[in-house]
Amino acid sequence: MDNNKINFDSYEKTDYKNYSLEKLSEFISDALQSEATPTEIYSTIITTLKKEVDYHDVCRKQAQDILDLMQDKGDSNLDLGQDYGQSFISAAFNDTISLENDDKTIKFPTRY
């Protein structure tokens, strides 16, 4: 390993992390100085975290379904119809996430 070389990958990751944390601090300060109540700020943070968890759960499920197909597990419960990705894609445009409905699929906001 050449000690004279700069590891730009590490620098960029640290720089991005610092940028993100700085922006988070600014947003928190802004929210605290706004007319928002502590409960509204808390609720917004919790809702955002839940949306992220739900989004990544769908990503994981879809990746697992593809992996199962590629490994030829022949799972008859896979829903691979035309609307398979619709809940994933539509989640980006609606703020309501329903974890499960009658057909056992996750309904995401339309913005995803």
> pLDDT per residue over 7-41, tens digit each?
656 667 778 889 999 999 999 999 999 999 999 99
Name the amino acid, one letter, at 74. G
d(CA 24, CA 31): 10
Would you kindly state where each structural domain of the chain is located, as residue ranges?
50-112
Query: Is the separation of the CB atoms in 94 and 106 below 8 Å?
Result: no
Q: pLDDT at position 112, please?
A: 45
In whole numbers, what is the pLDDT of the chain averaged over residues?
76
Tens-place pLDDT, residues 80-89: 554 555 555 5
Q: Could you tell me the pTM of the whole model?
A: 0.53
CA distance linking residue 110 with residue 96, whole number of Å:
8
Give buried/exposed letters for 76-106 (b at 16+ CB in 10 A, else e).
eeeeeeeeeeebbebbeeeeebeeeeeeebb
Please tell me the predicted confidence (pLDDT) of residue 42. Answer: 96
